Chains A and B, each alone.
Chain A
Amino acid sequence: MADQPRTLMTLTINGQVVQAAKGTMLVDAAAAVGIEIPIFCYEPRLGAPIGACRMCLVEVEGMRGLQTACSTPVAPDMVVSTDSEVAAEAQDGVLELLLANHPLDCPVCDKGGECPLQDRTFRFGPGETRTLEPKMHFPKPLDLSPLVALDRERCIACFRCVRFSQDVAEDGHLTFQERGDHIEIATASGDPYEGRFTGNTIDLCPVGALTSNPYRFVSRPWEITNTPSVCAGCAMGCNIEITTRDNEVKRLTGRPEPNMAVEEGWICDRGRWGYPALRGDDRLPGAVLVDGVGRRSVPLERALGVAADMLIPHEARVGILLGEVVTVETGFLAMELGDRVGAAPAMVRRMGIPGDGLGLMRALPGAQMDDLDHADLVLVLGGDPCSQQPVAELRIRKARRRGVPVVVVGPRPTALDASCEVVRTAPGQMTDAVVAIREHLDGTRRAIVLWDEADLAAEPGAAEEIARAMAVTEGARAIEMCADVSGPGLRALGISADADLLEAIEAGGIDVLVTISADPTAGPAGDRWAAALDGVGTIIEMASYRSGLTDRAALVLPLLTPLEEEGVLVSMAGRAQRLRPGAREAAGAAAAWEVLIGITHRLGRPVPDRTPAQAFARLAARHAPFAGMDYGTLDREGAVIAAAVATPDPRRPEAGGEGLVIVPCTPVFGDATAHRSDALASVREPTHVGLAPVEAQRLGVRTDSRVRITTPHGEAVLPLRVDSRLHEGAAYLVMGDPAVRAMHLLPVDRGPVRANVTAVAREDVVT
């Protein structure tokens, strides 16, 4: 890393000798040795300290008056007192003034019990509040948005939420209005505060001024348990905390002790408010068996036996298909199961992008998200991190605020465009930008390239050229923006994509198909899959939610979701991190690892593992990328798996034929969870087609018209949005709603494809 050597300084805090690196603020130096200096406004993740709340006043020998510990850097031989009479009186005084206009409504406040203001009042505060003045009154809580409530009386004007909106998310929508003691948090003329990251303001608020509407009055702090885990909403791998009560997930928040190498404590609103999906109507409550007797519920224990029976005939040829969000333990145990059934080892495949042509990119030296903090160039190649891996956007913005050039290359408009350099390419023509990319890389020493798996997979030619340019650029490193959450982990286990499984099924080579959180009929080439599955004798579906397979399966085994199960997910930057179960909301369901282990027992060929930890240890011993890891080493911040070795790859053909090139988009705010969670109703993105105005004009359609979109793989009728930022010659296919099929329009390898788009009905045509 290009950091300067850390100069250590020795100082004294409350008589204790402390060493701290140059530039460390007194609060942090004190905290490192267990001395708490109370703070409210200080939050280094928001930028340089602002010294506004004055809570952290301490005495420093030789300095006139009191100093704010949040903004005073350590200096050699400094003598600091945080608890002297003068300092204590000052802290007490500031608290008294903070409380002067704070309604003491802790008993009814959602923050009560986990409120920094409450805690600090107990620890550092006044014995009594002397104010006799009537406090400021505002009409009671205001909905800042359907998700965030604001109680203005409780606000202590610490600036945290406003700085988050202005300086971190850079959305500019949450501000202070008025001044002096009239100051209040507001949006423009009462518009809702909506965005991709609004919930972080709730985590930041040190009082109960900003609270989560879905969590309002749901539980009290002493009734809940908090479990650290990882969000499975996208491949970013943000660390989260799951709040549980009565075996239900009640809340998700950013991790109070963030993973600075990943999300830095921020999470997106989709991650935060997706949990109501767990209780969605389409959640599978228990096992279902279809046999001669009919269709009926069976206890899970029984169902495992039935599954084993279905897999036992040794001549059966078995396929196992893993979905986009499964843990590495599930992948590993699926392979173990595959080895124990059938005539030959089962075909274990994952739904996802084959990765042809990406070998060189994947073999480049990898980086972590915090490397963006030291980069001298950030290149975003394809994709749209803002909508597909949202928290990556925050880290990219942070780099840009440091003054680092950020260049966004690709066919999609992104939320970064307004503040970064943009190289817009025609869909499928990223090759055209290679010269520009080389120029940007030239002379850099710490460039970080974030590249989109799906876009570059569709253009392996460009990927290769870019990889070569990076390989000769000193210090350049890459982060893959994966389309699938399971992708990096399953690839590291050597599990390849599913195209050949489909071919095998079509050739009649599969008798039993096991799907694990995978519904191929809703995926790429879904129609082809649907037809092929007619030829499969037995389908065993393991899933958390009803799917297009549920009615065709002979056996349905209900699974827990990532918020409920234990296991390891590998993030797009290759970081293996632990999921820890928050709750088990579906009483009849089990974790995939439990189900898989159970079946091997019923088969009479048990795996030795009883826990996912054991399964992980065994997989780490067998699979080089995980060498040396176990749950212990992953405990706090996870660990980075070894990078892939470059392999020569077959190339893919270009999109031939006529029509508009499809640009597939899978925004997390448009995914299945976003559509299942009613909390996200106001911000979810519907499945639709986006067209540039010229294309819309050509077709005579406008926003909200319904269009028929046809590819060699299928057909769908979707609503249209006309957007002037889109490229002509392309149809931007935004998908994810489980109720609307659209993914099936793509080929099974998600390669390039063209579509014919037409107006559906008369009334959709503009005359």
Chain B
Amino acid sequence: MTADEIEEYLAPMRHEYADPRSLILPALRYAQGEAGWLPPASMSAVAEATGFTEAYVESVASFYDRCYLEPVGRRVLNVCVTLSCMLRGSDEIFDHIADYLGLDGEGTTGDGMFTLQRVQCIGACDRAPCLQVDSGEQVGPLEPADATCLIDDLRDLPAPERYER
């Protein structure tokens, strides 16, 4: 993603903020949409488009869980493990998915297809145990079999045009 593209994306919203610093997070989210994470080149592009230093942009990005500074899989499987989900079996779901993907806990599959991670409460405790693919709809309550089906379906989908994470 180039600085020009980011600038073009930001242009219509610039007037909404009294300080251009506010554009950093929208810019980061937008830049992340391209590859699903923020490679150094995207980070520099965000810095250039917003007028702040790379160090500053990196420091902002690294604060937020959903800005990825390292590569992740084509799909990120976020398994909520906070209290309500735990009480309803999120640890078991997590272990099951890890098993199914051949992962030893959190991590990315060898084919780069999936990144599995534990996340904190995603505001869907009524659907516990629940899972969120990227920042899509929170799905649940999940049984191990549901999780496996979901993963199989995802595997057949092409890579998204833009990543929403």
Contact = CB atoms under 8 A, between A and B. Distances in A.
Interface stretch (B57-65, B81-89, B93-101, B121-129): B57-65
B58 A177 contact: yes
A188 B55 contact: yes
Interface string A343-365: 00000000000000000000000
Interface in A188-227: 188-189, 191
Interface residues of A, number: 15
Given A172-B53, A173-B53, A188 B58 contact: yes
A176 interface: yes
A178 B67 CA distance: 11
Interface string B44-61: 000100001111111100
A188 B63 contact: no
Nearest to A175: B59
Interface in B13-70: 40, 43, 47, 52-59, 62-63
Contacts of B53: 171-173, 188
A210 to B, nearest CB: 16
Contacts of B62: 177-179
Contacts of A189: 40, 43, 54, 58
A176 B59 contact: yes
B122 to A, nearest CB: 18
Contacts of B54: 188-189, 191
A145 to B, nearest CB: 13
Contact of A187 (B47, B52, B55): B55
Contacts of B55: 172-175, 186-188, 191
A166 interface: yes
A664 to B, nearest CB: 31
A175 B52 CA distance: 12
User: Which of A174, A188, A189 has the most chain B CB within a 10 Å cutoff?
Assistant: A188
A173 B58 CA distance: 10
B49 to A, nearest CB: 15
Given A172-B53, A188-B54, A177 B40 contact: no
A176 B43 CA distance: 16
Nearest to B53: A172
A186 B62 CA distance: 11
A176 B40 CA distance: 17
A207 to B, nearest CB: 21
B106 to A, nearest CB: 15
Nearest to B58: A188
Contacts of A166: 56
Size band of the interface chain B makes with A: 10 to 19
Contacts of A179: 62-63
B135 to A, nearest CB: 19
A175 B63 contact: no
Nearest to A174: B55
A432 to B, nearest CB: 29
User: Which of B43, B53, B55, B57 has the most chain A CB within a 10 Å cutoff?
Assistant: B55
B67 to A, nearest CB: 11
A198 to B, nearest CB: 13
Contacts of B56: 166, 172, 175
A416 to B, nearest CB: 16
A172 B47 CA distance: 11
Contact of A186 (B40, B47, B59): B59
B27 to A, nearest CB: 16
Interface string A151-178: 0000000000000001000011111111
Nearest to B44: A188
A174 to B, nearest CB: 7
Contacts of B57: 188
Contacts of A188: 43, 47, 53-55, 57-58
Contacts of A171: 53
Nearest to A166: B56
A176 B55 CA distance: 9
Nearest to B54: A188
A179 B120 CA distance: 15
Contacts of A175: 55-56, 58-59
Nearest to B60: A175
A370 to B, nearest CB: 29
B96 to A, nearest CB: 29
Contacts of B47: 188
B159 to A, nearest CB: 26
Contacts of B43: 188-189
Nearest to B51: A418
Contacts of B52: 172
B58 to A, nearest CB: 5
Contacts of A191: 54-55
A179 B59 CA distance: 9
B79 to A, nearest CB: 20
Nearest to B57: A188
A729 to B, nearest CB: 30
A187 B53 CA distance: 10
User: Which of B43, B56, B59, B63 has the most chain A CB within a 10 Å cutoff?
Assistant: B59
A701 B82 CA distance: 64
Contacts of B63: 178-179
User: Which of A171, A174, A175, A186 has the most chain B CB within a 10 Å cutoff?
Assistant: A175
Contacts of A172: 52-53, 55-56
A144 to B, nearest CB: 11
B88 to A, nearest CB: 27
A355 B8 CA distance: 52
Interface in B129-159: none
A20 B52 CA distance: 40
Contacts of A174: 55
A188 B58 CA distance: 7
Interface of B: 40, 43, 47, 52-59, 62-63
30 contacts: A166-B56, A171-B53, A172-B52, A172-B53, A172-B55, A172-B56, A173-B53, A173-B55, A174-B55, A175-B55, A175-B56, A175-B58, A175-B59, A176-B59, A177-B59, A177-B62, A178-B62, A179-B62, A179-B63, A186-B55, A188-B43, A188-B47, A188-B53, A188-B54, A188-B57, A189-B40, A189-B43, A189-B54, A189-B58, A191-B55
> 7 shortest A-B CB distances, which residue pairs?
A175-B59, A188-B54, A172-B53, A188-B55, A177-B62, A173-B55, A175-B55
Interface of A: 166, 171-179, 186-189, 191
Given A172-B55, A177-B62, 19 more contacts: A171-B53, A172-B52, A173-B55, A175-B55, A175-B56, A175-B59, A177-B59, A178-B62, A178-B63, A179-B62, A186-B55, A186-B58, A186-B59, A187-B55, A188-B55, A188-B58, A189-B40, A189-B43, A189-B58
